[in-house]
Structure formats: structure tokens, C-alpha cells
Chain A
Amino acid sequence: MSDAEATAPTLDEMRSFYREMLLQRRFEEAAARVYTQGKIGGFCHLYIGQEAVGTGAIRALRPDDYVVTAYRDHGHALSKGSSSRAVMAELFGRSTGTSQGLGGSMHLFDVDRGLLGGYGIVGGHVPLAAGVAFASKYRGDGRVTLCFMGDGAVNQGVFFEAMQLASLWSLPVVFIVENNLYAMGTPLSMQTPVEDISLKAVPFGMDRDRFEDRDVFEVRRRVGRAVDRAREEGRPTFLEVLTYRYRGHSMSDPARYRTKEEVEERRLRDPLLFLEQRIKDAGAGGDLAAIEESVAAEVEDALEFAENSPPPDPEVATRFVYA
């Protein structure tokens, strides 16, 4: 993305990024609400607090580029262009969902938009992303694959194997660790002896970068460099983005392993608030209410759509197992 290097975003961009991040936040707040009413089941992992990572990163992509991610995938799907209706309906397990109710919260797929899945085995999806990039190289289609993972994934054997092969074979892939400092209730310090996760690129001779998610445009710029490297030089990059989740690991986690003060302190550095302030500073604070309103309407519409959608036919359970 050539304009990724441009530092000062236009006001239009600010509004558009803000809406995208706000949509993710309000969408998940609504999801959490109806989860407690039993309308959404299973594991449901909220992205609240991390929106700037997915938004900035996916904005550095071309529409035909690929995204492969883990189970904390609602925000990524919305950024990649999935409709809030289809994502909400999937969370509800309805026939109109992205996977017709077969995937649920953790397994969002939207193939037409290049979203090749959310996966539930920690680290297990990392080689898939390398494989998708392998196919791009094989065909010479010029596409880049972006792979999101949590800080817990980097301890898996298969993560190292995928890193190793991506570097050895020069695959056009960008690995992004969203380091939110916890893997469920385990703090980073109890997971890995090296605080700087990006160092894990070193033994593979892979380019790396490490930065905070505070400014979504900075995220786009830094990810954009890696995307350019992948597309133009066919080389992978390993990125560590420092972020934070405000909610528990999943809906069932009260997050007692960290203090209220810690969370409050992090909330003050919320990238969404940061962008809001920036829009105000640019003299466009008056636009915020309209954005909030349109987001609320979209979320309301998604909920209503999901609510009124029929459950999947029993026959759907068996229809897709084999091609």
C-alpha cells in the first residue's frame, strides 16, 4: 500500500477508521449483552480494546489479500468487510450467518472477502497462513496473507515450524502477534522468558517490528511496510503489536488475575479515545454523534436480523462434510 507511508491522515480517513473501530466495539458490547441472555452460545472472545490492531493492519491490505486469524475474530471479520448482519447471525447460530451456523464465534469465514477463517486451536492456524501465501507465490498472484495470532500462540511448536518455512521459502506472509499480555489468565511473564516477542523472528532470519497500537494510522503504516515487503520482495515479516483487552479472555472469564487499576490505567490509553480526541482536535468533534448514531443503528439492525433469521436446517449439519 503506497499511501501507507503518508503520515498525516485526512479527516475523511479519521472518520472512516473511527467508524470501523467503533462498530467493532459496539457490535461486541451488544454481543456480550445478548450472550448473557443466552442468545449466543459457546465460547465468545471479545476484541474490545484491540480494535486498532485489526483495523490498522487490514487497512494496509488490498481487498483481494487474505486474512487468517484465531478465535478472537469478530473485529477482523468486520474490518475485512463481512457484514455485521452475517457475523451477528453466525454468533446466533443462524442460517444467515457467515457459515450458516456451522462455525460460530470462533470460526468466521468469508471467502469472498479473503477471510479464510478463525481457528480455535492456539497456533494451529499459523501454518495455514503460510500455506495460503505459498499458493500466492506458486501462482504469482501478488496477494499477501496476513496472519493474526495471540501472544500464547508463539509457544507452540507449529508456530516455529511455520515461521521457519515461511522464511526459508520466502513466502508473502505477515505474521502479527497481538500481544495483549495475557493468554487466558496467564501473564506473559509466565509464558515466555523473553519479553520482546518479536525476537522470535531472529533465529529464522526474518524481518521484525514491534510497536504499540495507540495510533491506528501508525499501525497501518508499520504493517504496510511489512505488506510491501511481502508483495514486492516476497519476504515475510514478524510483527508484535502491544495491545490490551479490556474484557475477560472469553465471556465466562471474570479476569480476576489482574487488578481493576491495571485495566483502568489501560483504558485511559484506549486507541479509540485517542482517535476521538484527534478528530476533535481537527475541529470535527461535531461529526462524532452522527457516527455513533449510524453505528448504533447498524448494530441494532444486525441484532434484529440475527434474531429474525431462521435456525439452520438439520440437513445443513451433513451437507458440507464432503465436497
Chain B
Amino acid sequence: MPRTLQVREALNEALAEEMERDERVFVMGEEVGHYQGAYKVTRGLLERFGPRRVWDTPINEGGFAGIGIGAAMVGLRPVIEFMTFNFSLVAFDQIVNNAAKIRQMSAGRLSVPIVFRGGGGAARMLAAQHSQATEPYYAHVPGLKVVVPSTPAEYKGLLKASIRDDNPVVFIESELMYGAKGEVPDGEYVIPLGVADVKRPGTDCTVVSWGRILHTALEAAEVLAKEHGIECEVVDPRTLRPLDEQAIFASVRKTNRCVVVHEGWRYGGVGAEVVDRVQSSCFDWLDAPVERVCNVDVPQPYARELEELVLPSVERVVDAVRRASYR
């Protein structure tokens, strides 16, 4: 019997189950222990597993990211929590120059089975430094896997898969979705990385989207169906690296149109990668240029009205799909 859980509860279950299953798994980060997590994702873990498995750190991202990587190199399986992914940029060197490259530099003799997780993307009125999509930085890097889930069930199944993966995984949650609810299956399950999911079937236009903003795309799809008679097929890659391009191609070859909707900037964004792959592999199937709906190209403003303006909206998605559909 599926239960209704919040995202934070789904994540908490994933952590607890994996810590129970594998003694090498431990959690480390700011406020993850005594405070129970800045977003309460790690609630109860210190009590249940003790301080050896749940490490409160100082404000020391470069240091503890590096410590996690070192521990992973010799076989532990750290789950490093960034209070938010904005602060992962302090540890960027550790993630990009160490975690992602140690396997290559050691010719496969060392692996780095580590998960970096935490909230990312837009938050509410947190302004430029605390409200941004960091996934394109990490998706750029071979050696990393990048996961951006969108439903509670997927948060759980994908986090479990990430912890079991032998590679460094950047697992970016939505700061605005920790309280979002959804059905989560009972019992043990894992959702493999690199497999897309069709969130809404349709025949007229493919919409590729992930993370929190996927829900905006789904809303737009309903509007388009009701008011314009356009049936969108919404494809959620769930993992940005590796990217399940075949699932995207299959949909585009059916609908002959494609719109990519994501948070973060257009310039060099993950959407550009999707568009490139679609144009080079589905050229003969396309009936219109591929559209992108992204953040406006500015650091996130503070004011609510401006914030709304900058993020992809239902209206902008509707417009883009109509353009791509010539309707």
C-alpha cells in the first residue's frame, strides 16, 4: 500500500534504509545531527545511528567535501549534505578536480562512491547568492553523475540508487519541495540512474523538463490541452548525466516537436545539450525549431514580482509550445 510522504520524509527513509543496509554509509554535513538537518531531512538519524554515522561539521564545505572524497577513495560511502547547493561552490574544486577525476587519474584503481546532496534551484526570495541552479556546472563534468528528482517516490528511489552507485553523484533537491507530498511505494525499491520517465503521455509536442519546474511544465500541458487542443508529452530525464537521450528521441520522433523547460540560465545550460542532441539525431523528424524556456539571463532578484518574472512560468511554457506547434 503506497503511503503519502513529504519529500523530506522520503529522503529520510532512503538514508535510514541505506545506513541500515550498509555499515559503510555515513552522513556528514552542517546541522545534520543535533539540529536534525536544516530542512529536517536527517531527522532522527543521529539518535538511531549514533555520532559515528552522523557527523555534524563546522562551516567548512571544502574541508568536509574533501574528507568525504578521501574516505570514499578507500571504500566508505559518504553522503555529504550541503545545506544548500549554493555552498557547494565553496567545495567546487573538491568535487570537480578530485571526486570526478581520481578514477581517471588512477586508471580505475580508485573509485569515489560518494553522494553530494542538498537543496538547490530557486528558493523563495532568497536573492542572487541563495537561489540558483547549480546542475549545469556539475553536468558539464565527466566522472560525475547528476540527479535532479521531481517526486517524493523518485527522491527516495533515486537517492538509494545514488548511494549504491560506485561513482560520485551530485544529487540536487529542490529547496521548495521538501514539504511537497506524493505517493511513495511500500518496501524496498531503487530507481536506476540514467532512465527517463514519461510524466504525461501526449502526441503533439514533447516537453523535456526536470526537478521542481517540471511541475510548471505539467501545469502548462493541462492548459495547452484544455485551451489549445495541444497534447504535450512531458519527459523527465531525472538524471542529467548520464542523460537518457533515447527516451527523448523516441518521444520527439513521435511528436515532431520539442520544448525544453528548466531552471537556470539558458547560456550553456543543460537545455542547450538536449537541443543539440535532438537536432543532430532527430533532424528529419522535426517540424519546428526546438524551443527553450529557462530563467531570464540575470542573477536571481529578491523581489517576489521580479523573481516570478525570471523563473519559467506556465505562460512562457504555453507560449513556447504554441510557437513550436505553429498554433
Interface residues of A (CB under 8 A from B): 66, 68, 98-100, 102-103, 107, 109, 111, 116-117, 119-121, 124-136, 138-139, 157-158, 161-162, 164-165, 168-169, 316, 319-323
Contact = CB atoms under 8 A, between A and B. Distances in A.
B58 interface: yes
A158 B63 contact: yes
A131 B267 CA distance: 36
Most chain B beta carbons < 10 A, residue from A116, A130, A139, A323: A323
12 contacts: A100-B107, A102-B107, A107-B106, A109-B105, A109-B106, A109-B109, A127-B69, A131-B71, A134-B67, A135-B70, A135-B76, A161-B63
Contacts of A139: 76
Contacts of A320: 103-104, 106-108
Interface string B55-78: 101101011111111111111100
B98 A323 contact: no
Interface in B95-122: 97-98, 102-111, 113
A93 B69 CA distance: 26
A116 B105 contact: no
Given A111-B110, A135-B71, A321 B104 contact: yes
A128 B143 contact: no
A117 B105 contact: yes
A61 to B, nearest CB: 16
A323 B102 CA distance: 11
Interface in B162-193: 165-167
B94 interface: yes
B85 interface: no
A120 B105 CA distance: 11
Contacts of A168: 58
A321 B142 contact: yes
Contacts of B62: 127, 157-158, 161
Contacts of B103: 320-323
B104 A102 contact: yes
B98 to A, nearest CB: 6
Given A103-B107, A109-B106, A135 B75 contact: yes
B66 A119 contact: no
